[in-house]
């Protein structure tokens, strides 16, 4: 992780930073530098957690599970290629449910809310997680690794891919629509995830996937019918920049949570639905 995965992820971050600057997808409404700094500082405790707990704990559990023969993949020995496929399918689908729970369980939402309060969406949003969000994630990841019996090496490979996918779909890079259509058969793209960050709650409650887009197809929660410039990014009740300073963001999960309404009490809705931008 330290010698291969982290340098790779750092390179990907820089490449996406350049691509989104060169080929922007959505119009940005707030200072990029300001947000970059804020998201970076907010993510520092998260980075420390990933390095010292997020991976070491689940990896220790994965080693323990393979020694003790615990978990699905340890009970049913499969050829190596099948283990790779099974790991990606099982883990990504488990994360789909986990992301759903982050939004639906009020305690989890308090923390995940911080991620969604970003008023523009770009590759730096991928790092904007409250450390509380990460702590819950460690517990979830550990449990999933134990139940599925994920081999330690596969855990590292999956986790790196998962982080790369997260960077990619948060980025504000305008992929050529033909390329996006092809990728959309397989994976979550920036346009898809952009809709998940909308202030319209019905749109936020869609596109929960991280790597593959199939789970949203399966659950009928896939939405691609909102053009990117029609998306207002953020959480309806938290749209005042002065309320989203670093100190207030760290404290946000511990404050009373506001209902999903704009400051004037209105519930954001979309009157006209346009056609699926990505359908042929
Ligand atoms: Zn989310």
Q: Compute the distance between CA of residue 195 and CA of residue 64 in angstroms, rounded to an integer.
A: 40
Cα angle for residues 199, 29, 204 (degrees, 5° grid): 15
Q: How far is the CA of 197 from the centre of ligand 1 (A)?
A: 7
Cα angle for residues 19, 21, 25 (degrees, 5° grid): 80
Q: How far is the CA of 66 from the centre of ligand 1 (A)?
A: 32
Confidence category of residue 46, pLDDT binned at 50, 70, 90: confident
Give the CA distances from residue 151 to residues 49, 72, 88, 95, 174, in Å, rounded to whole numbers and listed in that order: 22, 11, 12, 17, 36
Residue 263 has pLDDT above 80, yes or no: no
End-to-end CA distance of the chain: 40
Does 121 or 258 have the greater pLDDT score? 121
Looking at 69-79, list the stretches that DSSP marks H as alpha helix, in order from N- to C-terminal side. 72-75
Q: Which of 130, 276, 245, 260 is nearest to 198 (CA)?
A: 260
Tokens for 157? 């490979």
Q: Which of 277, 170, 160, 165 is nearest to 228 (CA)?
A: 277
Question: What is the Cα Rg of the chain in Å?
Answer: 19
Confidence category of residue 233, pLDDT binned at 50, 70, 90: confident
Residue 50 has pLDDT above 80, yes or no: no
3-state secondary structure of 33: helix
Reading phi first (left if > 0) and then psi (alpha if -120 to 50, else beta), residue 80 is in alpha
Q: How far is the CA of 59 from the centre of ligand 1 (A)?
A: 25
Residue 11 has pLDDT above 60, yes or no: yes
Q: How far is the CA of 151 from the centre of ligand 1 (A)?
A: 28
16-30, 212-226, 247-261: segment of lowest average pLDDT: 247-261
Q: Which residues contact 279 (CB under 8 A, 6 or more apart)?
A: 224
Asked if residues 205 and 223 have their Cβ atoms less than 8 Å apart, the reply is: no
Q: How far is the CA of 68 from the centre of ligand 1 (A)?
A: 35
Q: How far is the CA of 225 from the centre of ligand 1 (A)?
A: 18
Mean of all residue pLDDT scores within the chain: 88
For residue range 120-152, what is the model confidence (pLDDT) as tens digits?
Answer: 999 999 988 898 888 899 999 999 999 999 999
Q: How far is the CA of 26 from the centre of ligand 1 (A)?
A: 18
Half-sphere exposure of 128 (CA within 13 A, CB side): 25
Asked if residues 71 and 148 have their Cβ atoms less than 8 Å apart, the reply is: yes
Report pLDDT for 272: 56
Give the CA distances from residue 10 to residues 2, 3, 14, 124, 221, in Å, rounded to whole numbers and listed in that order: 11, 11, 6, 12, 31
Confidence category of residue 275, pLDDT binned at 50, 70, 90: low
Q: How far is the CA of 103 from the centre of ligand 1 (A)?
A: 7
Residue 235 has pLDDT above 90, yes or no: no
For residue range 62-105, what is the model confidence (pLDDT) as tens digits?
Answer: 999 989 999 999 898 889 999 999 999 999 999 999 999 999 99
**Matching residue, tokens 């946000």:** 252
Confidence category of residue 280, pLDDT binned at 50, 70, 90: very low
Q: Compute the distance between CA of residue 227 and CA of residue 26 in angstroms, rounded to an integer.
A: 9
Confidence category of residue 276, pLDDT binned at 50, 70, 90: low
Q: How far is the CA of 178 from the centre of ligand 1 (A)?
A: 26
Q: How far is the CA of 205 from the centre of ligand 1 (A)?
A: 8
Q: What percent of the chain has pLDDT over 90?
A: 53
On whether the pTM is more than 0.85, the answer is: yes
Tokens for 278? 């990505």
């Amino acid at each position: 992780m330290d010698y291969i995965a982290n340098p790779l992820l750092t390179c990907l971050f820089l490449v996406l930073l350049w691509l989104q600057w060169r080929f922007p997808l959505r119009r940005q409404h707030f200072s990029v530098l300001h947000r970059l700094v804020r998201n970076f500082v907010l993510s520092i405790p998260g980075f420390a957690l990933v390095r010292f707990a997020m991976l070491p704990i689940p990896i220790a559990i994965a080693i323990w599970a393979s020694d003790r023969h615990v978990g699905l993949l340890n009970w049913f020995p499969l050829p190596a290629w099948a283990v790779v496929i099974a790991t990606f399918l099982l883990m990504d689908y488990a994360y789909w449910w986990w992301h759903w729970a982050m939004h639906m369980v009020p305690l989890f939402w308090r923390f995940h809310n911080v991620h969604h309060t970003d008023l523009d969406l770009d590759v730096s949003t991928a790092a904007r997680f409250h450390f509380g969000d990460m702590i819950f994630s460690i517990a979830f990841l550990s449990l999933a690794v134990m139940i599925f019996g994920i081999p330690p090496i596969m855990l590292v490979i999956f986790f790196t891919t998962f982080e790369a996918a997260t960077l990619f779909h948060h980025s504000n890079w305008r992929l050529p629509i033909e390329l996006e259509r092809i990728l959309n058969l397989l994976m979550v793209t920036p346009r898809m995830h952009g809709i998940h960050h909308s202030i319209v709650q019905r749109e936020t409650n869609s596109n929960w996937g991280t790597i593959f887009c199939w789970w949203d197809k399966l659950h009928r929660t896939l939405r691609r019918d909102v053009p990117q410039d029609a998306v207002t990014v953020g959480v309806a009740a938290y749209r005042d920049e002065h309320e989203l300073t670093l100190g207030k963001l760290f404290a946000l999960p511990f404050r009373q949570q506001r209902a999903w309404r704009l400051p004037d009490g209105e519930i954001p809705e979309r009157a006209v639905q346009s056609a699926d931008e990505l359908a042929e």
